[in-house]
């Protein structure tokens, strides 16, 4: 009963960082409740080869549902397998990452299990046996502390907020073949298109290089791409609403209340003045850097470090310094 289940996610066959974070979180919550963390991984035949890694992040057992039809996300099949697994077990909480997949899957699971759902949690603690969830509302202009009066407590967890803690522990992996019948599916993916320029999504990136109207022209984004590349593989590009509305950047890059709310380790706002909707979407970032020529821009009120100056001079220098630093590592 006091056990906590994690629905882990793979992408391109690898367990995602967000899944590791949720597993470590679940291990802590389960310990407070007097139980242990378990993980459920869904994937293609052979997916179990990746599963053992979750043991090191705190899963005592890892069940792997292997089926060719689960190789990529199909909402109805995934929801059905998760719901059967939850029903067969006895969990006080079920946690999953609030990624695109998790945001699509969690409400379906909630409706099928008839339990409420709290999404995109940034805090989770056990208070006298009750799980208390903290989550942003109004895109981060306020935070709500919630109790879910149902079992299991179903919560999706915002990526990048909790740390994945690696230990020497090993989880026991078991594999099963679920009943999956594609003929019953109401939706099917016809085509997957890769975005150009990196596959790290802005919502999951550990470093975000974000540009606003101060960039003056979409062709100047090569400066930001250079900085992103210098930062390494966990970095992604972001954008303010103004430049998305102007058609300079895709909506998938937009940070803010009508875009994505993000919490990276490092957020670099370049030529972004800092409208209230934008600040709401990025203010929980661990470290914020602002580069802007206007010293009175509101972005400087939330930035840990600011440089006042011409971004067309500052950004190339920053790229150069970061590249030199990384080369020395």
Partner 1 sequence: MKQVVCLKRVPDTETRIRIDGSGTSIDPSGVKYVISPYDEYALELALRTKEAAGEGTVELLSFGDTTGQETLRKGLAMGADGAVLLTGEATMDGLATAKVLAAELKGSDAPLVLFGVKAADDDQQQVGPMVAVLTDRACVTGVSSFEVSAGTVVCHREVEGGSEVVEAVLPAVLTITKGEHEPRLASLKGIMAAKKKPLEEKPAERVGSRIRVRGLSEPPARPPGRIVGEGPDAVPELVRLLREEAKAI
Which residues neighbour 295 within 8 Å (Cβ) at sequence distance 6 or greater?
308
**Smallest separation (angstroms) from partner 1 to the CB of 204:** 7
**Smallest separation (angstroms) from partner 1 to the CB of 146:** 5
Tell me how far the alpha carbon of residue 239 is from its chain's centroid: 18
Q: Look-up: residue for tokens 């950004």?
A: 315
**Smallest separation (angstroms) from partner 1 to the CB of 60:** 29
Nearer of residues 52 and 275 to partner 1, judged by Cβ: 275
For residue 192, the number of C-alpha atoms closer than 13 Å in the C-beta half-sphere is 8
Nearer of residues 164 and 314 to partner 1, judged by Cβ: 314
Please name which of 255, 300, 304, 301 lies closest in space to residue 281, comparing C-alpha atoms. Answer: 255
Sign of the C-alpha dihedral computed for residues 195, 53, 135 and 286 taken in this order: negative
Q: Tell me the residue length of the chain.
A: 329
Sign of the C-alpha dihedral computed for residues 32, 33, 35 and 36 taken in this order: negative
Q: How far apart are CA 237 and CA 240, in angstroms?
A: 11
Nearer of residues 52 and 225 to partner 1, judged by Cβ: 225
**Smallest separation (angstroms) from partner 1 to the CB of 183:** 12
**Smallest separation (angstroms) from partner 1 to the CB of 17:** 12
**Smallest separation (angstroms) from partner 1 to the CB of 138:** 5
**Smallest separation (angstroms) from partner 1 to the CB of 249:** 12
Please name which of 200, 203, 256 lies closest in space to residue 231, comparing C-alpha atoms. Answer: 200
Nearer of residues 137 and 169 to partner 1, judged by Cβ: 137
β-pairing verdict for 10-11 and 37-43: unpaired
Nearer of residues 114 and 168 to partner 1, judged by Cβ: 114
Nearer of residues 45 and 246 to partner 1, judged by Cβ: 246
Q: Look-up: residue for tokens 């974000």?
A: 210
Q: What one-character DSSP code corresponds to residue 183?
A: G
Nearer of residues 23 and 74 to partner 1, judged by Cβ: 74
Say if CB 154 and CB 109 are below 8 A apart.
yes
């Amino acid at each position: 009963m006091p056990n906590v289940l994690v629905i882990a996610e793979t992408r391109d066959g690898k367990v995602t960082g967000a899944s590791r974070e949720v597993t470590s979180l679940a291990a802590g919550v389960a310990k407070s409740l007097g139980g242990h963390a378990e993980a459920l991984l869904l994937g293609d035949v052979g997916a179990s080869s990746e599963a053992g890694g979750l043991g090191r992040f705190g899963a005592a057992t890892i069940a792997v549902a292997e089926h060719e039809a689960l190789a990529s996300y199909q909402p109805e099949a995934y929801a059905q397998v998760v719901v059967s697994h939850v029903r067969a077990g006895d969990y006080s909480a079920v946690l999953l990452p609030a990624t695109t997949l998790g945001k699509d899957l969690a409400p379906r699971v909630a409706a099928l299990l008839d339990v409420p759902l709290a999404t995109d949690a940034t805090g989770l603690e056990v208070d006298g046996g009750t799980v208390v969830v903290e989550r942003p509302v109004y895109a981060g202009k306020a935070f709500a502390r919630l109790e879910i009066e149902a079992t299991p407590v179903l919560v999706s967890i915002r990526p990048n907020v909790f740390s994945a803690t690696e230990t020497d522990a090993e989880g026991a992996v078991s594999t099963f073949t679920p009943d999956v019948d594609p003929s019953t599916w109401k939706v099917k993916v016809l085509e997957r298109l890769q975005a150009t320029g990196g596959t790290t999504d802005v919502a999951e990136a550990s470093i975000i290089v974000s540009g606003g109207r101060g960039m003056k022209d979409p062709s100047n984004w090569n400066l930001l791409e250079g900085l992103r590349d210098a930062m390494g593989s966990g970095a992604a590009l972001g954008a303010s609403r103004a430049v998305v509305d102007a058609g300079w950047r895709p909506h998938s890059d937009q940070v803010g209340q009508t875009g994505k709310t993000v919490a990276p380790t490092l957020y670099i706002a370049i030529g972004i003045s800092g409208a209230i909707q934008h600040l709401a979407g990025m203010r929980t970032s661990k470290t914020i850097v602002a580069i802007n020529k206007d010293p009175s821009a509101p972005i400087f009120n939330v930035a840990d470090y600011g440089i006042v100056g011409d971004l067309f001079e500052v950004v190339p220098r920053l790229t150069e310094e970061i590249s030199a630093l990384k080369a020395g590592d």
